[in-house]
């Protein structure tokens, strides 16, 4: 059963990828609609998604068609479509489930048709919009997807024209007043497609699911409480600062409960097709509930979306107790998260707080171990965590080092060995202790006579490697800074007093257009297959002003984010 569930999860993600590739995660612009959020009466997309779905990703609002096309023109779509096709074809070649192979075959045929869709007129001619809202969600465990249309009849004609090119036999059927296509009912899983309510709807269901589930999929029978009525998307946007252009969540508790004790008829039909008895997992229910209480959900969303910047994040939501414990792990590191320079990379970690947290949860697991045979690896992992907390290096550095940030201001390629300028910041609860610890490995450091008053000292050339640019150092009570080749070494003093980033960052990095261009130049000069792809780096330099990523910790859990600024 695990293999089938993994395949279903992959299908849901592939559906999301396809829809984002075809129309982005923004809402649509029908001729009768505006660019604002649809009202509760108008919103036929969110009103057909059940509030109790264990997973979903959807959007409430849309960009204008003009801004969506500007984004498409900046980012390009051909390379993305090619990579998506390669992934779909690889998955189709490796799956042994005929129903899944048919589903992937349909996706591949549709995606290939988008290689010729480049202008707003192209979208409209096939009944689509570049800014159409889309949604991926679960009917129980099974994935379903919806996407808004510009024109039902134009899209119907477009889709019917593709059927002859598919290596899949699609049959037609009617349910009430809804005509739809479906793959063979002889396979375990069946793909169903309908065009209804100005949307295209696709689902992957057990062939034994019955008409009731099909009616739910197509919206013939609306949910008792819809995602729109629940207000959950507004809650996600407000709590996690997402935009209305896309947000969602995967409920670990919901998925586990639906697998062990399925309530939705689609899940019941799926599990009845498999020889595995879900009741066997009841013996592990307490352990599973313990884990899902610690990690109740994955939450995701788009923070910013316009023609100048795109930013989003994936968040592992945690229990309030675990979040409180993890909030002590971050520390203030000068420059971390500032995005200054052509590139930066840094991390902040209070190793002493991490050690205390590991010891706390290790004691919990030792006192109350997991009893489920499949989860014995967790007991073993926590038993081995003592190796980390008792390591001599951890003992020596944890009181002295809380983080490092590397900022590159320039990178030169004129010489055989690239040289550059920048700044390195070391954060510490006691910078003098950090300096003493470093002197054990590099005795010459002691000769700098650094004091915690911010005074800038020039490091003598005989203490540096040959051909090294000028290096200056400065120290405060909580940080040591090294400036390499700085035009104005006096900036070290101001950098010592930079305030902490409000995002409670653990890791942050960024690359600018200038560095992409420099790396492209380096790549073009290097021989062999190990050289970086200079053409791809040049393309990135032309498209992106800056790309950034971060890992943060707050009361909501652990956040992994990424953003791009476009030219």
Looking at per-residue confidence, does 242 or 91 come out higher?
A: 242
368, pLDDT greater than 90: yes
User: What pLDDT is stored for residue 274 in this prediction?
Assistant: 65
DSSP E strands, 280-349: 297-305, 309-317, 343-348
pLDDT > 90 in the chain, percent: 48
Average pLDDT score, the chain: 84
User: What pLDDT is stored for residue 79 in this prediction?
Assistant: 57
Backbone angles phi, psi at 553, to 5 degrees: -130, 130
| Structure confidence by residue, pLDDT tens digits, 56-75 | 999 999 999 999 999 888 88
- Alpha carbons 91 and 95: distance in angstroms, whole number: 6
Pairing of strands 134-139, 142-148: antiparallel
217, pLDDT greater than 50: yes
20, pLDDT greater than 60: no
Looking at residues 404-415, what average pLDDT do you find?
84
**29-43, 226-240, 320-334, 336-350: which has the minimum mean pLDDT?**
29-43
- Assign 555 a pLDDT band (cuts: 50, 70, 90): confident
Helix and strand totals (H; E) in the chain: 20, 19
User: What pLDDT is stored for residue 530 in this prediction?
Assistant: 63
User: What pLDDT is stored for residue 417 in this prediction?
Assistant: 65
Looking at residues 409-425, what average pLDDT do you find?
79
User: What pLDDT is stored for residue 418 in this prediction?
Assistant: 67
What is the enclosing helix (H) or strand (E) of 506?
A: strand 505-512
Looking at per-residue confidence, does 167 or 564 come out higher?
A: 564
- Assign 193 a pLDDT band (cuts: 50, 70, 90): very high
pLDDT > 70 in the chain, percent: 85
- Assign 531 a pLDDT band (cuts: 50, 70, 90): low
| Structure confidence by residue, pLDDT tens digits, 238-269 | 999 999 999 999 999 999 999 888 999 999 99
User: What pLDDT is stored for residue 128 in this prediction?
Assistant: 95
Backbone angles phi, psi at 293, to 5 degrees: -70, -35
Looking at per-residue confidence, does 460 or 78 come out higher?
A: 460
* pTM confidence score: 0.84
**18-22, 514-518, 519-523: which has the minimum mean pLDDT?**
18-22
Q: What is the DSSP letter of 61?
A: -
**27-36, 70-79, 174-183: which has the minimum mean pLDDT?**
27-36
- Assign 5 a pLDDT band (cuts: 50, 70, 90): very low
Looking at per-residue confidence, does 248 or 21 come out higher?
A: 248
- Alpha carbons 317 and 326: distance in angstroms, whole number: 12
- Assign 493 a pLDDT band (cuts: 50, 70, 90): confident
| Structure confidence by residue, pLDDT tens digits, 254-309 | 999 998 889 999 999 988 876 545 446 777 889 999 999 999 999 999 999 998 99
Q: In a 10 Å sphere around its CB, with 0-12 CB exposed, 13-18 middle and 19+ buried, how is residue 560 labelled?
A: middle
Q: Which of 514, 517, 508 is nearest to 548 (CA)?
A: 508
Looking at residues 329-348, what average pLDDT do you find?
93
Tokens found for residue 428: 């510490």
Q: Which of 183, 178, 165 is nearest to 109 (CA)?
A: 165
- Alpha carbons 118 and 156: distance in angstroms, whole number: 20
**61-65, 500-504, 554-558: which has the minimum mean pLDDT?**
500-504
Tokens found for residue 533: 């792809």
């Amino acid at each position: 059963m695990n293999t089938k569930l993994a395949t279903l999860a992959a299908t849901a993600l592939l559906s999301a990828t396809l829809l984002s590739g075809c129309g982005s995660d923004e809402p649509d612009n029908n001729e009768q609609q505006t660019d604002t959020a649809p009202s509760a009466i108008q919103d036929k997309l969110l009103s057909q998604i059940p509030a109790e779905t264990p997973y979903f990703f959807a959007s409430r609002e849309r960009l204008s068609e003009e801004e969506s096309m500007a984004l498409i023109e900046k980012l390009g779509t051909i390379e993305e479509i090619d990579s998506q096709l390669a992934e779909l074809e690889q998955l189709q070649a490796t799956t042994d489930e005929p129903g899944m192979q048919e589903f992937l075959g349909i996706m591949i045929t549709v995606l290939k048709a988008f290689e010729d869709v480049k202008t707003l007129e192209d979208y409209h001619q096939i009944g689509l919009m570049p800014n159409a809202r889309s949604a991926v969600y679960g009917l129980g465990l099974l994935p379903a997807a919806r996407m808004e249309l510009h024109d039902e009849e134009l899209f119907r004609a477009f889709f019917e024209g593709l059927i002859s090119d598919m290596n899949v036999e699609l049959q037609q059927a009617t349910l009430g007043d809804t005509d739809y296509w479906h793959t063979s009912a002889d396979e375990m899983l069946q793909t169903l497609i309908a065009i209804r309510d100005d949307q295209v709807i696709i689902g992957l269901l057990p062939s034994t699911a019955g008409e009731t589930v099909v009616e739910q999929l197509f919206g013939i029978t609306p949910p008792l409480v819809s995602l729109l009525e629940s207000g959950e998307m507004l809650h996600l946007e407000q709590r996690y600062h997402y935009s209305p252009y896309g947000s969602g969540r995967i409920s670990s508790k919901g998925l586990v409960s639906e697998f062990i004790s399925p309530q939705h008829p689609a899940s019941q039909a799926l599990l009845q097709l498999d020889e595995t008895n879900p009741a066997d997992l009841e013996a592990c229910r307490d352990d599973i509930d313990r884990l899902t209480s610690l990690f109740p959900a994955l939450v995701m969303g788009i923070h910013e979306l316009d023609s100048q910047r795109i930013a989003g994040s994936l968040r592992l939501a945690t229990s309030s107790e675990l979040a409180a414990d993890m909030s002590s792990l971050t520390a203030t590191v000068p420059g971390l998260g500032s995005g200054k320079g052509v590139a930066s990379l840094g991390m902040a970690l209070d190793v002493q707080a991490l050690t205390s947290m590991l010891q706390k949860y290790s004691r919990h697991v030792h006192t109350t171990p997991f009893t489920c045979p499949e989860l014995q690896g967790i007991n073993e992992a926590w038993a081995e965590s003592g190796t980390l907390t008792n390591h001599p290096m951890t003992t020596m550095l944890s009181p002295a080092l809380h983080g490092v940030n590397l900022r590159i201001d320039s990178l030169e390629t004129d010489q055989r060995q690239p040289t550059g300028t920048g700044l390195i910041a070391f954060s510490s609860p006691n910078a003098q202790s950090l300096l003493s610890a470093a002197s054990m490995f590099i005795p010459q450091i002691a000769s700098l006579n650094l004091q915690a008053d911010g005074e800038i000292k020039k490091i003598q050339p005989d203490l540096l490697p040959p051909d090294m640019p000028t290096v200056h150092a400065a120290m405060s009570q909580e940080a040591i800074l090294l400036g390499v080749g700085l035009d104005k070494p006096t900036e070290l003093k101001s950098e010592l007093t930079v305030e902490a980033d409000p995002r409670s960052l653990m890791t942050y990095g960024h690359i600018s257009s200038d560095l992409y261009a420099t790396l492209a130049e380096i790549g073009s000069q290097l021989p062999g297959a190990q050289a970086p792809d200079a053409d791809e780096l040049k393309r990135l330099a032309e498209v992106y002003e800056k790309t950034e990523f971060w890992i943060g910790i707050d009361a909501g859990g652990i956040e992994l984010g990424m953003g791009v600024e476009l030219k």
